[in-house]
A and B are shown apart, each in its own frame.
Chain A
């Protein structure tokens, strides 16, 4: 994705952010309060309990709740609330013991298994599999049968069993972290492995571990209660919540309320632990919780009646763009020709005054501002810019595929005269993959790894067209053949991971053109490929365009590809279009100083020793754009007037440019001065 730092998941290093995330979740906050109360009761029961938990008072045997005994009394007249408070210590200790043992055994084994792999990993995981296959309670009961009943023994047994979960979680996380390039970089630096484990691996797995701890505590509490109830854990007079439930059970006919307080205490504690664990998981995964409402509000307030409306909540997540072709089924009798393409007069796609904002935690940041361009049928528009210029976001906005947290605030996007902004998600789905299609930079992440290539193309075809599975298969073979995949029949049964980078990109193109789109948006389709494949994919796209007459938007930072493929070019810088012209004019006599500098910096085939041309400074990030001309701080020909007022787009002989010195520079150039 071009725009960085959107919806950043909390990294494990930033515990402050995690805490804030939990505090913002009311349920988790409630759970946290309850857990604090339990912890307090466990540490200092005397502070909370109104009576001595052991004082017998046979006058008040088996009473219900009253002003004196808040939760009633038991058979011996002891205050239930006080007993509950005092026995919370054993509950907490039991949970801590089981979890602690599981942690101490599970984490080192998981670390070693994940980090070193090999035979140790294989043997460990087989043992873990075997232990996991056994029902935990039965094993605990067996261990107790061998070493005798008691809380400590019971929790030791449970800890052993729970440790397998920790082995699994730790190993899984280590396997992910181990493959990170920064761990490789540490190896190359010569960092000893123990230090790599401690400094790189462990901090990264803290998050999932904390979640696992809270869930294990809950399981341990429940198991302890169950074992106590069976008389296998704590023995009277030691009161645990499980023992209290057991005692209440025997007296249920005389005082049915007796069983309620300890039952509730167990239930609420487990629930609280789960709520907190859940919230932790959410925060660590970076799931935004209350964004939906703000998004809706903004899209309603900010637009000129063209709000994205209902579609906002289900905005596409980056990295899961397969949605656009495999989404909800659409009625087959949908009218295909909403507006006839009108050659020459109306452009195929017309984008006017498009604005996109990102809703950050505290403020709204403009990402794309007042972007306008149009594409004719059969034409290729190059959308060029550096990272952070907003080119990808512009393309995604046109398809209604903005990542979560971003919203179209103004403007219009018309496809063959039909307004796309404000369409419902269902209506957009009917369009996407049918009349508009998209090719992404990373075919490996855009193709669904769980389905064969054939499956995905057939699915796309049948979503948009009323054809049988058999017909769709024949079409799919034909499509793979058209994109230059050899032995298409065999390749149809391949999964995406079985294809090489170039092949996968071809398959992605086949998927995109499956329903004969009138507009193909290609977002950096060749950036991840090497030069030979770049050329091949570029040629393929041109061939397909010649055959079908579709329009194409080619989004890229690779100027060479633009020179080879595009008819017209829109250059973007810091969220706005700074120049729009034919490809010949752009490379031959660019108007905007940024365009000229960009082209110079791309001339890299200079001999050794000759310094490459660069643009000094960097692209300003959204939110810190200069008020007037956004390129002025880096511009070699800037004058004081460049920093006073916002620069409008003005007409040039072959398009438009956003530079107050445009005319002047053109004249200098025509005199051969540049």
Chain B
């Protein structure tokens, strides 16, 4: 990979210590990652592994104590104030589709906000773009006047994705975008994200905890634990032949859909019958 869109170099991030005399422990320590344009970098780990901290640092919602983050040829960690172009180029989809949409706003207002900030405040142009975006994420443009409460969890996440796409970004940080959804809905959202990547060439920094799903969404996969990078490589390689014992452990933890692999014996089917 020569030309990278996002480059994370030896980054260390600590949260401020709570209370006196307590030393802050770093949430992320010496992590380096890189993501090419139009590709997906998956970051997988347990809760507390620091994967979300990385996402927040890229979005500049957190500051790094050491190391650098580069986007194209700009040093993100050096921004005193985050420039408007960076906000346009780097967008986010959040874990909780309900909390990330203002309940008092209509869908049109929510999706229009990035357009108003970055593109134009012309009412007709905005309405057109919103309709286009809604169609793109598989919703009816006629729904634009409704509020988030009228939508299901999966639909709300589609709205969140439409908002992220509105400013035509080249990178979307997806912080566990499907973890809060039903399994069947997860698959539709993942397919949607795949389609959108193919159509628009957007890159994803994809945070998740389920290695099985991460294998599917990622080109390259990074495994994190206790704030450190354990292993990184092409997704299929990491999934099929993990180099680290921890990665294998994580793989094994994913609950299998085959009841024959479980630890408790299955009852013989004919043994009992209910009603």
Contact = CB atoms under 8 A, between A and B. Distances in A.
Interface stretch (A130-138, A226-234, A515-523, A601-609): A601-609
Given A532-B250, A602-B183, A607-B236, 13 more contacts: A13-B147, A189-B87, A189-B91, A501-B47, A558-B183, A559-B257, A560-B256, A561-B255, A563-B258, A564-B261, A604-B190, A605-B216, A608-B236
B202 interface: no
A529 B154 CA distance: 19
Given A189-B87, A580-B274, A530 B190 contact: no
B216 A372 contact: no
A164 to B, nearest CB: 28
A655 B273 contact: yes
Interface in A578-607: 580, 582-585, 587-588, 597-599, 601-607
Contacts of B59: 188
B257 A587 contact: yes
Interface in B242-275: 249-250, 253-264, 266-267, 269-270, 272-275
Given A190-B88, A604-B216, A607-B216, A203 B104 contact: yes
A500 interface: yes
Interface stretch (A42-50, A58-66, A358-366, A612-620): A612-620
A191 interface: yes
29 contacts: A8-B149, A13-B104, A181-B96, A185-B101, A186-B113, A187-B61, A189-B91, A189-B117, A189-B163, A189-B167, A190-B167, A372-B275, A386-B183, A500-B48, A539-B263, A542-B263, A563-B258, A580-B274, A584-B260, A598-B184, A599-B257, A604-B183, A604-B190, A607-B215, A608-B219, A612-B188, A612-B216, A653-B269, A654-B270
A180 B99 contact: yes
Contacts of B99: 180-182
Contacts of A561: 255
Most chain A CB inside 10 Å of its own CB: which residue of B113, B218, B235 = B113
Contacts of A203: 104
A5 interface: yes
A610 interface: yes
Given A386-B184, A605-B215, A374 B255 contact: no
A568 interface: yes
B194 interface: yes
Contact of A188 (B91, B239, B249): B91
A20 to B, nearest CB: 17
B212 A605 contact: yes
A610 B216 contact: yes
B155 interface: yes
Interface residues of B, number: 80
A608 B218 contact: yes
A4 interface: yes
B135 interface: no
A387 interface: yes
Interface in B125-151: 147, 149
Contact of B186 (A180, A181, A501, A604): A604
A584 B262 CA distance: 11
Interface string A548-587: 0000000001111101110110000000000010111101
B194 A611 contact: yes
B103 interface: yes
B122 interface: no
Interface of B: 46-48, 59, 61, 82, 84, 86-88, 90-92, 94, 96, 99-105, 113-114, 117-118, 147, 149, 152-155, 160, 163, 167, 182-188, 190-191, 194, 209-213, 215-219, 235-236, 239, 249-250, 253-264, 266-267, 269-270, 272-275
A539 B264 CA distance: 10
B61 A557 contact: no
B273 A654 contact: yes
Contact of A583 (B236, B255, B256, B266): B266
A672 B104 CA distance: 53
A185 B187 contact: no
A279 to B, nearest CB: 21
Contact of A601 (B184, B210, B235): B184
Contacts, number: 214
B152 A603 contact: no
A534 interface: yes
Nearest to B88: A190
A283 B201 CA distance: 47
A563 B255 CA distance: 8
Interface of A: 4-5, 8, 11-14, 180-182, 184-192, 195, 200, 203-204, 347, 372-374, 376, 386-388, 500-501, 529-535, 538-539, 542, 557-561, 563-565, 567-568, 580, 582-585, 587-588, 597-599, 601-608, 610-615, 618-619, 621, 653-656
B152 A388 contact: yes
B172 to A, nearest CB: 10
A602 B257 CA distance: 8
A251 to B, nearest CB: 55
Contacts of A11: 103-104, 149
A389 B185 CA distance: 13
Given A535-B255, A560-B256, A563-B258, A190 B87 contact: yes
A613 B183 CA distance: 11
B96 A531 contact: no
Contacts of A372: 275
A279 B96 CA distance: 32
Contacts of B255: 531, 534-535, 538, 558, 560-561, 563-564
Contacts of B46: 530-533
A14 B105 CA distance: 10
Contacts of A388: 152
Given A13-B104, A190-B87, A618-B152, A587 B258 contact: yes
Nearest to A502: B47
A455 B151 CA distance: 41
Nearest to B85: A190
Contact of B259 (A181, A195, A563): A563
Nearest to A569: B259
A611 B239 CA distance: 18
* 8 closest Cβ pairs, A-B complex: A190-B87, A560-B255, A13-B104, A605-B212, A612-B187, A530-B209, A181-B99, A181-B100
Contacts of B184: 386, 597-598, 601-602, 614-615
Nearest to A179: B99
Contact of A185 (B94, B104, B118, B270): B94
Contact of A585 (B210, B212, B269): B269
Contacts of A14: 104
Contacts of A559: 183, 257
Contact of A605 (B191, B213, B263): B213
A204 B103 CA distance: 10
Contact of A5 (B94, B149, B194, B273): B149
B102 A608 contact: no
A601 B187 contact: yes
A656 B73 CA distance: 62
A621 B153 CA distance: 12
B213 A583 contact: no
Nearest to B195: A611
B219 A374 contact: no
B269 A608 contact: no
B262 to A, nearest CB: 5
Contacts of B210: 531, 604
A5 B149 CA distance: 7
Contacts of A190: 82, 84, 86-88, 114, 117-118, 167
A365 to B, nearest CB: 15
Nearest to A188: B92
Contacts of A612: 187-188, 190-191, 216
Chain B CB count within 10 A is highest, among A8, A582, A598, A606, for A582
A584 B261 CA distance: 11
A374 B117 contact: no
B163 A185 contact: yes
B274 A542 contact: no
Nearest to A191: B117
